[in-house]
Amino acid sequence: MKRDGHRESRKTDGGSSPAGSNPPEPAAQAAFASYAAPLVSDAIAYANAVRDDPSPEALHKLRVSLRRLRSLWWAFAPLLEKGENTRQRALYKYLANAAGKTRDWDILIELIRHEDVAANSLTPTLEEARGNALTTSRETLTNADVKHLLREALTSASTDINTAHERVPLHKFASKRVAASERSLMKRAKRARRARRSNYAAFHDVRKAGKKLRYLLEFFEPVLSGSHKRTLKRLKQVQKRFGALNDIVASEMLLRDNASLLAGSGDTEGVLHWFHKERKRRMRSAAGLLRKL
């Protein structure tokens, strides 16, 4: 990925400031809670909303907020106890997957309606399956006690991160983590360019790495040197195009996994044929964007 132009950094490493200059920036350890606390609050609010709001948007916002939390914990991993950080990131993934099971049905239904696939007779069965998934998602999130789990995770991580004696300037720490995330994206993009067109997993890895880098840039952009607007624009393009591919792949898999449930509901084979053709088209589109990274 081509880098944006950089301007000279005016940030300090946290030492004493000349008279009249800006105060020294905080250490990464001190800044952690200012990033994490709002994300935790958002995730709790969205989890509460899902109990009363069955709309696809409520589930989508919850899943995104949990992914952002997972990316933030990855960013601060060098300052956190490894085992605890791994467990907390696994928690965010578990909760996101709970919401995602219903969201997958939403995407499938939306694709069929939007693309005018000849599968109107499938819709009632899909809606019923979506309702059952929502019930399970709600039960999982309620039983998990999201509010308690996330607040406990925040408290634990904040305590852990501030026990270290060595302080790391925030802009230096952020720059290193963004650079590490960018290297990860480039490595996965290179692997995907060399992979067979049928190797969706390689494309999926690019999507995840691109999303992580985008989140980190959004978190840390105010303390980074230079402008990252062009990079963010490219990452949004990656997320949109690779996300469209993921929607098709996940929906096709959902249909195949529930073939017995949908038997007799409509032209399932015809719909699967459409998804197969659409997957190939979107794979070509994603591959074209890969060459520009």
* 135 and 180 co-located in one domain: no
Q: Give the domain range for residue 60.
A: 26-168
Number of domains composing the chain = 2
Residue 16 placed within a domain? no
* 122 and 132 co-located in one domain: yes
Question: Of the residues 126, 153, 168, which one is the last residue of a structural domain?
Answer: 168
Residue 6 placed within a domain? no
Task: Dig out the tokens for 16 from the structure.
Answer: 């004493």
Q: What's phi and psi for 152, nearest 5 deg?
A: -65, -40
* 63 and 161 co-located in one domain: yes
Residue 293 placed within a domain? yes
Question: Of the residues 110, 144, 168, which one is the last residue of a structural domain?
Answer: 168
* 182 and 275 co-located in one domain: yes
* 157 and 229 co-located in one domain: no
Q: Are 184 and 209 in contact (CB under 8 A)?
A: yes
pLDDT the model gives residue 4:
66
Residue 4 placed within a domain? no
Residue 144 placed within a domain? yes
Label residue 142 by pLDDT band (50, 70, 90). Answer: confident
* 161 and 186 co-located in one domain: no
* pLDDT over 70 (residue 115): no
**The model's pTM:** 0.86
* 75 and 182 co-located in one domain: no
- Between CA 105 and CA 125 the distance in angstroms is 11
* 79 and 115 co-located in one domain: yes
Question: Of the residues 141, 168, 195, which one is the last residue of a structural domain?
Answer: 168
CATH number at residue 57: 1.40.20.10
Place of tokens 């800044």: 31
The mean of the pLDDT values for the chain is: 87
* 161 and 219 co-located in one domain: no
pLDDT the model gives residue 15:
44
Q: What's phi and psi for 27, nearest 5 deg?
A: -75, 160
* pLDDT over 70 (residue 20): no
Task: Dig out the tokens for 204 from the structure.
Answer: 């999926």
Q: What's phi and psi for 107, nearest 5 deg?
A: -65, -45
* 185 and 95 co-located in one domain: no
* 36 and 147 co-located in one domain: yes
* 72 and 135 co-located in one domain: yes
pLDDT tens digits for range 203-257 = 999 999 999 999 999 999 999 998 899 999 999 999 999 999 999 999 999 988 9
pLDDT the model gives residue 94:
94
